[in-house]
Chain A
Amino acid sequence: MTNQTSYQTLRHTLVHTVHFVRHLTSSAYIVRCSRGHLTFTPGQHLSVGPKNNVNMREYSVFSGDKENFLEILVKEVENGLVSKELKKLNPKDEIIIEGPLGFFMIEESQFEKPLYMIATGTGIAPFHCFAKSYPNLSFTVLHGVRTSDELYAHQIFLNDTITYIPCLSKEPPTIISSTDDTQPTSKKHSTTSFQGRVTDYLKSIEIDREGIYFICGNCDMIYEAFDILQQNGVSPEHIKAEVYF
């Protein structure tokens, strides 16, 4: 049987206090709340819902595993029973969190291998968590969005250890740079975006057959990326996917 990495399984259902809601675009936002005693393995997700509301939805943890708060990245869904409610949260409001859940994690045996993270939209959340939790881990991130304003919290990926490839389907190649003014100019990083979808990018490069691929986002993108990787000799065992819906 495969050697599976140890992961957090001690479940909890608890009330967490909202610190703030940070709006990234008109429909995407980050909810930061108290961490409590919740432990998780980077890549796992939580089931989250407003207090006194029977509905809950799953969101990948956006924040790092060593931070003393929890963050989730939410895209407002039309007629959504949860995302619309979370958007209205105010500091000191309470939310219910169950978790951690899921298996979208880097296994022990995979840390030494070439790692590729492919995301669309808010599917970047678990990779943001990887970057925060494993600051020395070298990996490649492909993030597909329509326009550069949807490159949520891209600063974390602009550093010496991560290869960051933003793919903009509705914007010409653009220089994406770190806006962290605390860094000296010499430490600032930038990259030029690829024009097209992440799958277009995958088709344009030579696929690393030995790589471990993590794909997170909508199912159509996952299917297409899966086909491209498999056609180029990547074993399905080396492809992990988390479907966002």
Chain B
Amino acid sequence: MKFYLISLGCQMNVSDSERVKTMLIQMGYTETLHEHEANILGIMACSVRQKAIDRIYSLIHKWEKWKKSKSLITFLSGCILPVDKEKLLKRFDILFSINELPQLPDMLKQYGITTPYSVAASQDTYDHNSLAIKIAPQKNSSQNTTNSISATVHKDIAKEFWKIPPTYSSNYTAFVSIQNGCDKFCTFCAVPYTRGRETSRPSSEILKEVRILMQQGYKSITLLGQNVNSYGKDTNGKELTFTQLLAYIGNMAEELQHDCWVYFTSPHPRDMTREVLEIIAKYPSLAKQIHLPMQSGDDKLLIKMNRNHSMIRYNQVMDEIKEIIPQATLFTDIIVGFCGETEKQFQNTVEAVQKYQYNMIYVATYSPRPGAASARWEDNVPLTIKKERFRKISALLRESAYNYNNTLIGTEIKILIDNISVSKKSTSNPKENITKNFSSDSQNYIYLIGKNEGKIPVRVVLTENALQNKNYNDFINSVIGNFITAQVTGTHSLSLECTLEHIPTSFPHKSTNSGNIQKNQSSSLESISFSTESTCLK
């Protein structure tokens, strides 16, 4: 029996889908990447953009057709607006909020599928492997809304969800969910209506998961939450604060002598404290990269967006970042063309962008998101102006990122390698003296693709000297998911080019089953893909 699961939207959904996979695998299913092979078809939905909703309808339309000729079960979870839930409930066999994931075996059992797990699940209380689920099966699906459950049960369900270990999609980079939901109610965002209120995962579970990841050698660990730095505020002091959590993790890396980068996303400027920044500065394992969403540089627009902070506050945090972690790369989110955004208001954003010289900006042209408060307002900035503003911000980003990248030329940087790129030929090599490298196919060049600590994409070219090294093959076979150090020899606006002269003499051998070798015909640095989605634009 096979399952096929597609995840739409942000990293939170990717993280949640790793737990859904665990449940299905523990029930005896195997994952397939080919939907036509699957007996169970699932979608982790995203309600943030209409495009994602359209995709859900497109997929279920196809699967409904398949159901006429074969036995299939379809399910939907993730971010779903209440109004969409009602409509989609009719189309999918199973629809559940992610906190109800522990009940998936019961739900599947209702469809007559018998697995070792679902047999065990027939008892009110059961324990299967590492899962300890103590939630009575719900008999009436109409009761499956958070609206009709008490706080105690709600919290219990959330806690049970987090006890499900994720099936990580990589063996060197992992997302660790620490918080779910949102209490901020930004007017452009529907997350508070799809994921509910902020709920913090028990600190002990987070620390346990992070420890295991470190012990298993994970190099990049990202703490995830819709408002990641409001972690713990909903627990009335029963869990660690976000600052304390980071400190524990920093200490843990030191105790285990584990070399890694720990990130977090997405924080809210309102909740960013000096203490958090000081902890990041203190521990080498806490990555020196800060993603602080601005959304707009105009105070009045921030009010309309219900961001609950002024630009004075934002500036204060940014100044403290520059003071406490001057080496940190700076990322932000900006929405251009929000309802009623005037040229003057946009100029305030431009000025802030010029001031802070970001390394990355996730720019979004505003479009109403169903379910968000702003969807009730007129989307009155013409598309041409939105596009023009988008281009303006993008151009400023390219300029500031390029300037920063240039300061790194000649320096040695540490890079976590994600991919090996095989290219037919290079057309954009910025350095004439860089030797092209070749695989066994002499027409191909090989590049190592990765990111530095500041999450700047890096392409590494190997010199002739490195290629001739006797350890070259071993190195190539084990480099994905490991750190290397290389010299910056060139820059593009959003990425770095490095040269590796010498293959490391001692290099950790490691399985690379999660690595990718991409065939990249253009091989241009600008074509290196990186995520353009932050966690729901917080």
A residues neighboring B (CB under 8 Å)? 1-2, 9-15, 47, 49, 51-56, 58, 81, 96, 98-99, 101-103, 219, 222-223, 226-227, 230, 235-237, 239, 241, 243, 245
- For the complex, what is the distance from the CA of A58 to the CA of B185, rounded to whole Å? 9
Interface SS of A by simple majority: mixed
* Contact partner, B86, options A13, A54, A102, Cβ 8 Å: A54
Identity of the chain B residue whose Cβ is nearest the Cβ of A81 in the assembled complex:
B83
Identity of the chain B residue whose Cβ is nearest the Cβ of A215 in the assembled complex:
B303
Contact A51 B147 (CB under 8 A): yes
- For the complex, what is the distance from the CA of A103 to the CA of B303, rounded to whole Å? 12
Known: A9-B233, A101-B183. A243 touches B306 (CB 8 A): yes
Contact A13 B150 (CB under 8 A): yes
Q: List 16 A-B contacts (CB under 8 A).
A: A1-B316, A1-B317, A10-B236, A11-B234, A13-B150, A15-B148, A52-B148, A54-B86, A98-B196, A103-B270, A219-B304, A222-B300, A230-B299, A236-B310, A241-B303, A243-B187
The smallest C-beta distance from B190 to any residue of chain A, in angstroms, reads 13
> B425 in the interface, Cβ–Cβ < 8 Å?
no
* Contact partner, A235, options B85, B147, B312, Cβ 8 Å: B312
- For the complex, what is the distance from the CA of A102 to the CA of B184, rounded to whole Å? 7
Contact A237 B147 (CB under 8 A): no
Known: A1-B320, A10-B236, A11-B198. A237 touches B145 (CB 8 A): no
Identity of the chain B residue whose Cβ is nearest the Cβ of A94 in the assembled complex:
B148
Contact A236 B299 (CB under 8 A): yes
Known: A1-B273, A96-B147. A237 touches B196 (CB 8 A): no
Contact B147 A53 (CB under 8 A): yes
The smallest C-beta distance from A155 to any residue of chain B, in angstroms, reads 30
Excluding A13-B154, A222-B303, 10 further A-B contacts by CB distance (< 8 Å) are A1-B272, A1-B317, A2-B316, A13-B196, A15-B150, A52-B148, A81-B83, A96-B147, A237-B310, A245-B187
> B146 in the interface, Cβ–Cβ < 8 Å?
yes
The smallest C-beta distance from B241 to any residue of chain A, in angstroms, reads 12
138-179 of chain B: CB within 8 A of chain A: 142, 145-151, 154
B residues neighboring A (CB under 8 Å)? 82-83, 85-86, 142, 145-151, 154, 183, 185, 187, 192-193, 196-199, 233-236, 270, 272-274, 299-300, 303-304, 306, 308, 310-313, 316-317, 320, 373-374, 376-377
- For the complex, what is the distance from the CA of A239 to the CA of B313, rounded to whole Å? 12
Contact A245 B197 (CB under 8 A): no
Chain B residues with Cβ under 8 A from A226's Cβ? 299-300, 303
- For the complex, what is the distance from the CA of A152 to the CA of B312, rounded to whole Å? 35
- A-B interface contact total, Cβ < 8 Å: 102
Known: A54-B83, A236-B311, A245-B377. A13 touches B303 (CB 8 A): no
Known: A14-B150, A103-B308. A9 touches B303 (CB 8 A): no
The smallest C-beta distance from A229 to any residue of chain B, in angstroms, reads 11
* Contact partner, B146, options A13, A52, A219, A222, Cβ 8 Å: A13
Chain B residues with Cβ under 8 A from A239's Cβ? 310
Chain B residues with Cβ under 8 A from A223's Cβ? 300, 303-304
The smallest C-beta distance from A130 to any residue of chain B, in angstroms, reads 18
Chain B residues with Cβ under 8 A from A58's Cβ? 185
Contact A245 B376 (CB under 8 A): yes
Chain B residues with Cβ under 8 A from A236's Cβ? 299, 310-312
- For the complex, what is the distance from the CA of A2 to the CA of B310, rounded to whole Å? 11
Chain B residues with Cβ under 8 A from A237's Cβ? 310, 312-313
Known: A9-B234, A56-B147, A96-B147. A243 touches B154 (CB 8 A): no
- For the complex, what is the distance from the CA of A102 to the CA of B186, rounded to whole Å? 11
The smallest C-beta distance from B509 to any residue of chain A, in angstroms, reads 46
Chain B residues with Cβ under 8 A from A101's Cβ? 183, 185, 197
Contact A51 B148 (CB under 8 A): yes
Contact B197 A11 (CB under 8 A): yes
The smallest C-beta distance from B307 to any residue of chain A, in angstroms, reads 10
- For the complex, what is the distance from the CA of A99 to the CA of B304, rounded to whole Å? 22
Chain A residues with Cβ under 8 A from B235's Cβ? 10
Contact A1 B86 (CB under 8 A): no
Chain B residues with Cβ under 8 A from A227's Cβ? 300
- For the complex, what is the distance from the CA of A1 to the CA of B273, rounded to whole Å? 7
- For the complex, what is the distance from the CA of A58 to the CA of B196, rounded to whole Å? 12
Contact A11 B183 (CB under 8 A): yes
The smallest C-beta distance from B233 to any residue of chain A, in angstroms, reads 5
Chain A residues with Cβ under 8 A from B147's Cβ? 13, 49, 51-54, 56, 96
- For the complex, what is the distance from the CA of A230 to the CA of B148, rounded to whole Å? 45
Identity of the chain B residue whose Cβ is nearest the Cβ of A53 in the assembled complex:
B147
- For the complex, what is the distance from the CA of A117 to the CA of B185, rounded to whole Å? 22
Identity of the chain B residue whose Cβ is nearest the Cβ of A245 in the assembled complex:
B373
* Contact partner, B197, options A13, A51, A53, A222, Cβ 8 Å: A13
The smallest C-beta distance from B293 to any residue of chain A, in angstroms, reads 17
- For the complex, what is the distance from the CA of A97 to the CA of B86, rounded to whole Å? 21
- For the complex, what is the distance from the CA of A241 to the CA of B299, rounded to whole Å? 11
Q: Which of B145, B310, B376 has the most CB of A within 10 A?
A: B310
Contact B304 A9 (CB under 8 A): no
Contact A55 B82 (CB under 8 A): yes
- For the complex, what is the distance from the CA of A223 to the CA of B344, rounded to whole Å? 14
- For the complex, what is the distance from the CA of A49 to the CA of B196, rounded to whole Å? 13
- For the complex, what is the distance from the CA of A55 to the CA of B147, rounded to whole Å? 9
Known: A14-B150, A55-B82. A1 touches B312 (CB 8 A): no
Q: Which of A14, A47, A98, A230 has the most CB of B within 10 A?
A: A98
- For the complex, what is the distance from the CA of A235 to the CA of B316, rounded to whole Å? 14
Identity of the chain A residue whose Cβ is nearest the Cβ of B193 in the assembled complex:
A56
Chain A residues with Cβ under 8 A from B187's Cβ? 243, 245
- For the complex, what is the distance from the CA of A219 to the CA of B380, rounded to whole Å? 15
Identity of the chain B residue whose Cβ is nearest the Cβ of A98 in the assembled complex:
B197
Chain B residues with Cβ under 8 A from A47's Cβ? 192, 197
Chain B residues with Cβ under 8 A from A12's Cβ? 151
The smallest C-beta distance from B47 to any residue of chain A, in angstroms, reads 13
* Contact partner, A54, options B82, B199, B374, B376, Cβ 8 Å: B82
Chain A residues with Cβ under 8 A from B146's Cβ? 13
Identity of the chain B residue whose Cβ is nearest the Cβ of A237 in the assembled complex:
B312
Chain B residues with Cβ under 8 A from A96's Cβ? 147-148
Identity of the chain B residue whose Cβ is nearest the Cβ of A222 in the assembled complex:
B303
- For the complex, what is the distance from the CA of A102 to the CA of B154, rounded to whole Å? 21
Chain A residues with Cβ under 8 A from B185's Cβ? 58, 101-102
- For the complex, what is the distance from the CA of A222 to the CA of B273, rounded to whole Å? 28
Contact B145 A54 (CB under 8 A): yes
- For the complex, what is the distance from the CA of A58 to the CA of B372, rounded to whole Å? 12
Chain A residues with Cβ under 8 A from B233's Cβ? 9
* Contact partner, B313, options A2, A13, A55, A99, Cβ 8 Å: A2
What 9 pairs across the A-B complex have the smallest Cβ distances? A54-B82, A12-B151, A10-B236, A236-B310, A241-B303, A236-B299, A9-B233, A96-B147, A237-B312
